[in-house]
Chains A and B, each alone.
Chain A
């Protein structure tokens, strides 16, 4: 069974640009969550989607947005990039309809903003 796939794995952008990250969950999983990981703040929750609906949202500015498609694949977008957005962005899928916290993480997309 294929794991959670995130693309791209690495990318470099400059301030002011925007970026779109993609996540394909494990087959059959309908829940997708996104986390930002930085050395200073650790793992911070961005948002969670289930069946194309945003079920939960973290405390990030509106520049961070996401969506989920009918095939459960998800994308997140960050507009007007700032230096502080440099981070590892992790996507995780869940197999349960109820969010049990049991998540399967991808390897992440490492974003560097110059």
Chain B
């Protein structure tokens, strides 16, 4: 099925670093959401965005709904070890189901 282009696929973080990831699509979405999944768990909603251009924060996390409605960005500031996990973007059109990106895996630098 159709999926969003999420990048990067994986990244290593060092405690204290800022992290950025993004999601793009060839189609317009009415809603963009970001979820995080820890091993053995289901995804957990981090941030939901409903308007083009919207910038929303949740603690150290900030996400933006792209002005073209075809992309979204997630930033994590001053990363900590518990930020490790897989981050998924998801887009939704009106009356439609969620379409998920393939995820960005955050790991700690050895």
Contacts and interface: CB of A to CB of B under 8 A. Distances in A.
Interface of A: 4, 33, 35, 41-45, 48, 56, 58-59, 90, 92, 99-108
B42 A106 contact: yes
A102 B96 contact: no
A44 B100 CA distance: 7
Contacts of A48: 97
Contacts of A99: 92, 95-97
Interface stretch (B20-28, B43-51, B56-64, B67-75): B43-51
Interface core residue of B43, B44, B98 (most chain A CB under 10 Å): B98
Contacts of A106: 42
B18 to A, nearest CB: 26
Interface in B60-110: 88, 90, 92, 95-103
A56 B97 contact: yes
A45 B97 CA distance: 7
A101 B44 contact: no
Contacts of B90: 101
Of B31, B42, B97, which is in contact with the most chain A CB atoms at under 10 Å from its CB? B42
B49 to A, nearest CB: 10
B54 to A, nearest CB: 14
A93 B41 CA distance: 15
A107 B98 contact: no
A101 to B, nearest CB: 4
B97 A92 contact: no
Given A103-B45, A107-B41, 10 more contacts: A45-B97, A56-B96, A58-B1, A99-B95, A99-B97, A101-B90, A102-B48, A103-B98, A104-B45, A106-B42
